[in-house]
Amino acid sequence: MSAVGKQSPALSYDRIRAVEWESDHVKLIDQRVLPARHEHLRLADVRACAGAIRDMAVRGAPAIGITAAYAVVLAARDRYRESATAWRDAVQADLALLAEARPTAVNLRWAVERMRALIARLPDGNPEAALLAEARTIHAEDIAANRRMGELGAALIAPGSAVLTHCNTGALATGGFGTALGVVRAGYAAGRIAHVYADETRPWLQGARLTAWELVQEGIPATLIADSAAAYLMKQNRVAWVIVGADRIAANGDTANKIGTYMTAVAARHHGVKFMVVAPTSTVDLSTPAGDAIPIEARAETEVLGCAGTRVAPEGARAWNPAFDITPAELIDAIVTEKGVVRDPTPAKLAAMMAQP
């Protein structure tokens, strides 16, 4: 058997890279214009990277963390050029700019803190090579975690099942392969998942624009639904699992994820559908005790007042646009990380999982 033949079949479903380092800059797929246009942004400084995160050219908790890690390389390079002695102090403002670009996904802060810790340890001299190596490691670790979670999550699903997913948690949202969508990729390759339903995910349409784009490229059978069709889909026994990602998992298992996740979890429990959260340990925040302490990003009213850039509500109408909600741990059947599966999460079970090597 060839080396390729020995690999997990799931590895063949892995082509898209949302974030890349290219010689001296960060290269992003511009997710604001997908799927109509497949365009790249080439960003050469930290401000451009922070702006791309804020404006959601790159989005998804792990992907914005990886972008920030590469952005620290750009920041340090520029600060070192300004002053080989004072760069370490000067770069702190850049780290703050990145960490504050979006508030809910803890992966962003996690990646910035990991780069900050390396900056503090580095010997004098040009920091660029060491920081780039660390950013590349963060990126590679995320892809490896996703592949492992794909195997672990898929193993929970009975062969031939249909599943529902929310938002986009695929290669576009991560270093590659995806979290919840990684389970879909692995589960489809293993014959455990036969069909995927994808919520369109108003207002930003991550499901309709991005998840559908990934699934079409992979040739995985998928059906898009309006978010409001999810409960009726479950009522008709059409799905066995809801599989979602996370932006932050608190110490008690409460999970922040894309707005609409909570109502989907409520509907799943009512209909006896299992609910799985798939996220790397960089998304788990043991310093946040419970979901009510997670900051929820409020985005512009215009995202709700219109659709795909076209205004649909009358002038004078107002909107409320929380970008995330909190699913309480009691509605979650399994949290899957690269370190293992936590069923019916509790603070003690999550702490034990995080303490593993």
Which residues does 184 contact at the CB level (< 8 Å), separation at least 6? 163, 165, 170, 178, 193, 196, 215, 220, 243
What is the amino acid identity at position 263?
M
Q: Per rule CB under 6 A, is residue 32 in the interface with ligand MRU? A: no
Other beta carbons within 10 angstroms of residue 348's beta carbon come to 10
Q: State the nearest-atom distance from the C-beta of 265 to ligand MRU, in Å.
A: 13
Q: Catalytic annotation on 325?
A: no
Task: Identify the CA nearest to 127 among candidates 138, 119, 117.
Answer: 119
Which of residues 16, 68, 115, 173 is near ligand MRU by CB under 6 A?
173
The contact mask relative to ligand MRU for 318-337 (x = CB under 6 A, - = no) is: -----x--------------
What is the amino acid identity at position 10?
A
The contact mask relative to ligand MRU for 183-212 (x = CB under 6 A, - = no) is: -----------------------x------
d(CA 217, CA 211): 10
- Of the pair 16, 132, the CB lying nearest ligand MRU is at 16
The catalytically annotated residue of 142, 199, 247, 285 is 247
d(CA 183, CA 168): 13
Angle at 300 between CA 29 and CA 172, to 5 degrees: 20
> Rounded to the nearest 5°, which phi and psi values hold at 56?
65, 30
Q: Per rule CB under 6 A, is residue 252 in the interface with ligand MRU? A: no
Tokens representing 50? 């922070």
Which of residues 142, 199, 200, 247 is near ligand MRU by CB under 6 A?
247
The beta strands (E) that lie in 17-73 are given as: 19-22, 25-29, 40-43
The contact mask relative to ligand MRU for 52-71 (x = CB under 6 A, - = no) is: -------xxxx---------
Please give the size of the binding site for ligand MRU, defined by CB under 6 A.
17
Of residues 80-119, those binding ligand MRU (CB under 6 A): 105
Tokens representing 84? 């080989």
Which residue has the closest beta carbon to ligand MRU? Answer: 245
Just list the catalytic residues. 247
Which residues bind to ligand MRU, rule: CB under 6 A? 59-62, 105, 167, 169, 173-174, 179, 206, 245-247, 257-258, 323
